[in-house]
Structure 1
Amino acid sequence: MEQGTTRVRPAQETDMPALARIYAHYVLHSTCTFELEPPSAADMAARFRTVTGRSGPFLVAQCGEAIVGYAYAGPYRDRPAYRHTVESSVYLDPACVGRGIGRQLMGELVRAATGGEFLQMVAVIGDSANHASIRLHESLGFRRVGVLVDVGFKHGKWVDTVLMQRRLCRTCLTDTAS
């Protein structure tokens, strides 16, 4: 699969089994997520409804008929004061890593979240050794704002979390009373 054959589009609930399959790989085999049990397609559908119900973009990358990745901007925290901040998530089919699809997805995600009600996008990257994700976010204008050391324990080791942040809009939201 080449990047030119990949299109990014809004996700649909019917995509959730493919997303659950992609994400399960990372839950079971990596430290980029701190979940220990893969969520079901129904769980992913509930996440999809939460994100889109709060006007957050939820995108998939599709090559031919195959869903090869997804990205979304979900609520950063549940408390109302955080309503203008979203947290990004991006995952690719392991067979498609290194082909530019993650950058394509994240670029579209940033564009989709810009200019609306969101002021900041935060990336909470599992594992400070996840250099590919850190570089991807840096290439899209995220800056490293902190590291939480040894906050997760997975696969028999302590794992850091890298916090990155990107401002989505320079001039919007001067009145945050809404």
Structure 2
Amino acid sequence: MSSAKPSLGTLIRHLIELLDGDVQAAYEAGGLAWRPRYTPVLRGLLSLGPASIKAMAGTIGISHSAVSQTVAQMTKDALVELQPGTDARERIVILTPKAQAMVPALQRQWAAVNAASDTLDAELSTPLSGIVGEAIDALNRRPFGERIMAEAEALSTPEHP
């Protein structure tokens, strides 16, 4: 009996598990209480300074909802604080001294992760970083949901009962 071919989603989730799991383990081995998902938010704050969730989402290319959820987790871990913005709905995210103290060690860890990524890319027939970038660009041009709907419609035609 043959096994089914893994779907794209399954393959991507497995890849993320392999990558994030080892990045997380490296943080722990380095004595850092840090989650990989915090990195884009921290990098955004290092670039922008104190910023709204909306501004960070636009800068780091992650949805407002995902940034908001990550900021909530980082707040619980005392890595960021929220201050009121110019209107009642806006919240400004700032780094805590705890997070600021971690930055040099995190930057060293990021350098190691980037170097490891380069070695992975060198082993592949096409660099993973390039393919992922191309996929993101293609999905920005035509979202996957549109593609699914078009294929579902095509499959429901008389030629495809």
TM-score interval (norm. to shorter): under 0.3
**Over alpha carbons, which structure has the higher Rg?**
2
Higher RCO, 1 vs 2 (CA within 8 Å, ≥6 residues apart): 1
Q: If each structure's helix is expressed as a fraction of its own residues, which one has the higher value?
A: 2
Which is richer in strand? 1
TM (norm. structure 2) is 0.26
TM-score normalized by structure 1? Answer: 0.25
